Structure 1
Amino acid sequence: MSNRLLTYNPETEGAEGGLLIMGAPTRAAQPQPSTELEELELGSAFLEATSTSELASVVNRILRHGALLAGKPIASQVVQHLGARLNRAGQSVRTLLAPPAGRSDTAPSEAMERITGAELEGLSDEDKEFETARAFVRFAMEAGRLAARAPSTQPPAAVATAAARVAARRHAPGLDFVQLVPGFRARRAIRRQSFA
């Protein structure tokens, strides 16, 4: 089975194979790939973040890098919504990387494998943590890139949600389960904004 069939998602691909964000086609130009060195640097910064303010700073750096990859800035309201979503996901990943004292050793490694979508069985604990951090960085970078390329006519909350979901499917499939699902009122408000 070809890789194209495995990655096909009717919600995000148009008839010609171009990426659709909120129903609008994006530019045909492919983004420049992030260098592995930048990914490693941001992954280590993510692991070194000890407080929520440091984590927010790292998430903002990752979003800026994603906007650079897209070639255009992210709207400030989208940054607020997407940053909050990525901060929640980052805090969830950080709790998995540093589990409480009572949790067993197998639970974090299984969760890390679920997040990355790869088997981490032969790696040391430090390498598992680092690969999970790199998966988060790739996810956040892609979310920033997609949010920057989204049409400016769409509601910021809907753009942030769509960008995070598409990026999670591509780079960190297990993060869909880690992220908090918005409540009924938030989903209804997003739907109302998108139809207005």
Structure 2
Amino acid sequence: MESFEFEGEGEYESVFSEEMEAELAAELLEITNEAELNQFLGKLIKSAGRSLGKVVRGPIGQALGSALKKVAKTALPMAGAALGNLIVPGIGGVIGGKLASAAGSAFGLELEGLSHEDQEFEVARRYVRLAGAATQGAVAAPQNASPQRAVQAALSQAARMHAPGLAAQMSGRAPSVIGTAGNGASVGHGARPQRGTWYRRGRRIILTGI
């Protein structure tokens, strides 16, 4: 099995400037469908490459996009919370707030005392930072390395720095801190399990048993 070592592990800061990081986080929060997510991830990876003085494309770019999309769909519950509020006013906000808090745990953030909007923004910002670090690690891998393995190694290292809860999940050392949709599983450390189920109908999320 291939393994990679990256210089400055645990030491380098965000690939993006503070202003760019905030701008990308705000854009992430506006995503409403998968097509927009794909477009955003392409821009995110391209922006990270530009900051690093690299052109990220081909197999590495595709592997990065796929891996970051999986993380986003697993660890970023913002869109689901918004849709929930449209269907069942109030209930979606409660569930969304708990999911945002659980996502904060995945990214090693202390979100207690922040508004729901601020919680979402901090989680989105940390995701952008994670994506930048993963891109930095992936483009530093040897040219003859498997793109998938290079990206996985880079993402694992980036998660150890910017998303410790997610890193524990990736290594199999901890259960999901985001909660399993549709089966009433815990939505986060210290949070009371939310019983009930949900299913998707078109672009709507229908909640039952809450």
TM-score after normalising by structure 1: 0.69
Corresponding position: 1:133 with 2:115: no
Corresponding residue number in structure 1 for 2:141 = 150
Corresponding residue number in structure 2 for 1:173 = 164
Corresponding residue number in structure 1 for 2:27 = 45
- Paired with 1:31 and 1:74, the residues of 2 have a C-alpha distance of 20
- Paired with 2:163 and 2:99, the residues of 1 have a C-alpha distance of 15
Structure 2: which amino acid aligns with 1:110? S
Single out whichever of 123-132 and 172-181 deviates more from structure 2.
172-181
Corresponding position: 1:89 with 2:71: yes
Structure 2: which amino acid aligns with 1:79? G
Corresponding residue number in structure 1 for 2:152 = 161
**Post-superposition offset of 1:164:** 1.0
Give the helix-richer structure, 1 or 2.
1
Q: Which has the higher contact order (CA 8 A, sep 6+)?
A: 1
How many pairs were matched up? 159
Q: Which runs of 5+ in 2 are unaligned?
A: 173-210
TM-score after normalising by structure 2: 0.65
Q: Is the 8 A contact 1:31 1:69 kept in 2?
A: no
Q: Report the aligned-residue RMSD.
A: 2.9
Corresponding residue number in structure 2 for 1:78 = 60
Corresponding residue number in structure 1 for 2:115 = 124
Structure 2: which amino acid aligns with 1:113? G
Q: Which runs of 5+ in 1 are unaligned?
A: 1-20, 182-196
Structure 2: which amino acid aligns with 1:76? G
Cα 1:109–1:26, aligned 2, differ >3 Å: closer, same or farther?
closer
Cα 1:50–1:134, aligned 2, differ >3 Å: closer, same or farther?
same
Cα 1:32–1:87, aligned 2, differ >3 Å: closer, same or farther?
closer
Aligned-pair identity in percent equals 30
